[in-house]
Structure 1
Amino acid sequence: MSVKATRTGIVLSPDPTRVLFRPFELGTTRTLKIIARVNAMSDEEVDRKLGEVIREFGGRHYRLERFLTQRFGQIKAHLLTDEPVSTERQLLLGAYFTMEYSLESAALFNPSMIWHPDQTNVPPGYKRFILSLRATGEGHVSSISFRMGYIDAEGKIVLRKPLRYVTSPETVPNHRFNRSQFERKLYELRLENSIQEKMMLGLGDEFSLSELEAQIKRISAQFRYNAEYDTIASGLLALAKSNYEIHFDDDQSLDERCIFPSSPNETNGIEDARFVQFTDDNGEVTYYATYTAYNGRVTFPQLLETKDFTHFSVSTLNGAEVSNKGMAMFPRKINGKYAMISRQDGENIYLMYSDDLYFWQTKELILKPTYHWEYVQLGNCGSPIETEEGWLVLSHGVGPMRKYAIGAFLLDLNDPSKVIGRTKEPILSPDENEREGYVPNVVYSCGGLINERELIIPYAMADYASSFATVNVDELLAELTGKETPEVVTES
């Protein structure tokens, strides 16, 4: 008899009241008209209208006036004169070019779960965790949202109610690029030629986006009649803008933080982040997340990294085998190399190795759809989890009527290309309460973890809401290995 997961009954539904402010972009003509109308207002009218805005929206946002000031700075170039503008009028102009965005009004799904880096002041037997989720709002734009919670001494999962505010991060100014790595990425993107060489010629071993922009502008006159110039220039700038750093204020709670799309690759969303606590050979811990960037036409696998969930670096992944969705990192190096589980062809599971975290050139097929519930495609449901019996990997399979279910497989610790076992039947399939939603008949996860002898699986229901299920690790490993009482190493 196959092992089945036990549902906890917890349901995490999207909350439309969680709003953040975003730029309200309008064309040049309308922008000029709005500025003219606001500038025609008397000082008394400006004060009165600004007061209404602050009263109505100030309690819904974190540091609203700071954002309005920033928005004024972004539209200031449209002012027709250098006449000084009062602080109140600046704020009001900023408000006219700001909008609220309901972060998770459409869905809150595809969760990934890791242990919180801060376990101080936790009662004996308790452990804090971080839950990342794909939040989807207006226009079906996806971003990364966070929740926090703990598992108590009895193994009960308790989610903390998120705080009222939610805010996107600020981009770190003057982020420095490593020239050697940047040029290698240009080569992988086939953007290397004589024009590109001239664009890079005046840059040092490290450079910023503004320095790159200035250099491209500096040589533009030489190539004004060259048809390739605009293509190469656009490609260089798009690559630079897709590799960036972001930062949240230290006094913001993690569940107030939202990683919102901000690069050319992400204009239509950041999807399905698979977080993993990675321990390097020297013991240093970094939190990585592979995710899918979507620009409305093409998907791009990308990498998010952080030490503290306050400062994040975002990088493009490059190489011949970086394609499709669902790349998931192993939590440590295997035989001195970084390792990934992947699915380049849309239906099979592959193993990848690399000496460089940002470049992936090879793959090896390790699993094909074999059982009825996975005939359409296979994929991972998060990063491999280390046990003494092997690497435990949650998987998803797609069967008749595009029904998604969750299973598992086990890989050899020293040679993950060797498959020790796999579940012949799903351990979790959509029940009648989980079938209806944005995408019917889907259960899906981006990563679970082991607590004591329980595998905790956070999972999405019909691409709408999220829940948790648990599986006894001993029973699952017994099914995968054929042994009666396997031993496991729980994550620390």
Structure 2
Amino acid sequence: MNAADVFTTLDILLQPDPSRTVIRPFDFGYPDAFAGDRPTRVQQVASRLMALDEDMRTRMLGLLHEAMRKRHRNVDDAFLRRYAEMKDRLDVGEVSDVRDRLLLGAYFSQEYAFESAALFNPSIVRAPDERGDVGSVRFVLSLRGIGEGHISSVTFRTGTWDGDRGLVIDPASDQGVPPQIESDDEGGWVKLHSPDSRDISETVIFPTLPSQRQGVEDMRLVNFTDHDGVESVLGTYTAFDGRDTRCELLRGIDERTYEMRPLLGAMAGYKGMALFPRRIDGQFVMLGRQDNEQIWLLRSDDLYTWETGAPIMAPRYPWEFVQIGNCGSPLEIDEGWLVFTHGVGMVRGYCVGACLLDKADPSKVLARTPSPLLFPSAEQRGGYVPNVTYSCGALLHGRSILLPYAVGDEHTAFAVGKVDDLLSVMAPQ
């Protein structure tokens, strides 16, 4: 069997959808050179609104409701929360009329199409409350959505897979629900509450910390089981502020509450870090690409602090001469740790391969694919970023593999294969 024959691509695609929007904060100000001693732009807008007569404000509220209530559930709550966040900056005194609070909140909010340009770089885990049919598995899929300004957010889908070609992606809700944000300025953590979400496809995680100003990118989810048997869904992702990147970690507290924390230490300021699904020899273990070229193995006693690591796998084959990195958290099989990899070759083409790490000592590479498993085909070569085939994780069901992958940094496709077929095309190291 050839490497290119291990996986079969399914006839299912997830495409970006500009109709899916969320209400998020909108803020603005004068350039520093023009701020001077005058009122802020926020204060100017609030003053102009409150100077209107009551009839005009009533008509404006009617127009607002006509446009927004058709597209967003509980939109008044979102505007009132935004008013509460902004009221100390408005300088308009006490606003007692709830209608005026709604209007003020609306002026400092925006409707954002979070997956209008692209929906890609998928990761996948078993659903925490898995209740699939006999022989099937329920899963949660995370996706990177790109909207206006090339800003990345995280959105979700759910579905069921039977271990073969029977894959069902549940329809996404037409609602996008903004999280309520609880933050700690000193510790740098953020807790996101989405009590209005009726299912996880309504939850949108968009940038909230300064480190995330330009995006929350490439979530790598994992079903993590700690040494005390407690299971949780964790996800590493790249925070990008427009200049610098760092790795942060998302922890699912429950289906509507998430915590985001930065990772600390010398190894944390890099892309592509992915956590092993359990401790090894009492330590947390992570894969990364700290030098932008090789796959590194990191170990730590503390989930949030990563100080040391070493490269374990360097580019060897032409399709990965530029760089090699992981495609998500390792999958534990009888033979060891199965890791999907990405390689970059000619014309910055991204392909997907795999390697096998020793189960007891994952710094040892037992085998790897000399040829890519998935690559930009003639039908899948175009896109927002051409010549890119990429994934942030795969799902095991018995000895079967479901591999969601991105095409051209634009949309998401799915492929299925068998563990034994994959191992058969690897070369021992």
Smaller-chain TM-score bracket: over 0.9
Q: Check whether the contact 1:113–1:129 (CA below 8 A) recurs between aligned residues.
A: yes
Question: What does residue 486 of structure 1 align with?
Answer: none
Matched letter for residue 401 of structure 1: V
The residue type paired with residue 142 of structure 1 is S
Alpha-carbon contact 2:370-2:426 (below 8 Å) kept:
no
> 1:271 Cα shift?
0.5
1:86 CA drift (Å): 1.3
**Do the aligned partners of 1:111 and 1:445 also contact (CA within 8 Å) in 2?**
yes
1:272 touches 1:446 (CA, 8 Å); kept in 2? yes
Residue 66 of structure 2 aligns with which residue? 55
Is residue 19 of structure 2 the alignment partner of residue 12 of structure 1?
no
Larger radius of gyration: 1
3-state SS of 1:59 partner: coil
Q: Within 2, Cα distance between the matches of 1:334 and 1:272?
A: 25
1:440 aligned residue: 386
Following superposition, the deviation at residue 155 of structure 1 comes to 4.1
For 2:409, the aligned partner's letter is: D
1:165 aligns with 2:165: no
Please name the residue that 1:230 is paired with.
none
Q: 1:259 to 1:251 in 2, by over 3 A?
A: closer
1:117–1:308 contact (8 Å) kept in structure 2: no
Does the CA contact (< 8 Å) of 1:276 and 1:383 recur in 2? yes
Unpaired stretches in structure 1, ≥5 consecutive residues: 174-208, 210-236, 483-492
Aligned residue number for residue 74 of structure 1 = 85
Change (3 A) 1:285 1:437: same
Total equivalences in the alignment: 417
Cα deviation, residue 361, structure 1: 1.7
Counterpart-to-counterpart distance in 1, 2:84 and 2:256: 25
Match of 2:245 in 1: 299
* Equivalent residue in structure 2 for 1:477, among 419, 423, 428: 423
Structure 1 segment 110-129 matched on structure 2, within 5 A: 110-120=121-131, 122-129=132-139
Shift of 1:78: 4.6
Q: 1:33: Cα distance to partner?
A: 3.1
Cα deviation, residue 305, structure 1: 1.0
Q: Any gaps of 5 or more consecutive residues in structure 2?
A: 30-38
Inter-partner Cα distance in structure 2 for 1:76 and 1:323: 36
TM-superposed CA distance for 1:74, in Å, is: 3.1
**What TM-score results when the alignment is normalised by the length of structure 1?**
0.81
Q: Is the 8 A contact 1:169 1:259 kept in 2?
A: yes
Q: Quote the residue 1:402 is aligned against.
A: 348
Matches within 5 A, 1:104-143: 104-120=115-131, 122-143=132-153
Written as runs of structure 1 = structure 2, the 5 A alignment for 1:328-339 is 328-339=274-285
Could you tell me which of 278, 288, 295 is aligned with 1:342? Answer: 288
In the alignment, the residues of structure 2 paired with residue 79 and residue 250 of structure 1 have an alpha-carbon distance, to the nearest angstrom, of: 28
Q: Distance in 1 between matches of 2:191 and 2:181?
A: 6
One-letter amino acid of the counterpart of residue 93, structure 1: L
CA deviation profile, 1:115-169 (whole Å, cap 9, x unmatched) = 111123x322222111000111111111110011111375411111111111221
Residue 351 to residue 53, structure 1, CA distance change in 2 (3 Å) = same
Separation of aligned partners in 1, 2:27 and 2:302: 39
Decide whether aligned partners of structure 1 residues 364 and 80 sit closer, same or farther in structure 2, where only a CA change above 3 A counts: closer
TM-score, normalised to structure 2, is: 0.93
| Pairs within 5 Å for 1:83-482 | 84-120=95-131, 122-152=132-162, 155-172=165-182, 209=184, 237=185, 240=187, 242-249=188-195, 251-480=197-426
Deviations 1:87-134 (A, max 9, x none): 1122122222221111011111100011111123x3222221110001
Structure 1 range deviating more: 300-309 or 271-280: 300-309
Q: 2-side partners of 1:258 and 1:435: how far apart? A: 29
Q: Report the CA distance shift for 1:421/1:154 in structure 2 as closer, same or farther (over 3 A).
A: closer
CA distance in 1, matches of 2:52, 2:196: 38
Percent of matched pairs sharing the same residue: 43
Identify, as 1 or 2, the structure richer in helix: 1
Compared with structure 1, are the counterparts of its residues 55 and 285 closer, same or farther at alpha carbon in structure 2 (3 Å cutoff)?
same
Q: Distance in 1 between matches of 2:167 and 2:228?
A: 32
Structure with more of its chain in strand, by fraction: 2
Q: Does 1:64 align with 2:10?
A: no
Native 8 Å contact 1:285 1:307 kept in 2: no
The answer to whether the 8 Å contact 1:420/1:480 transfers is no
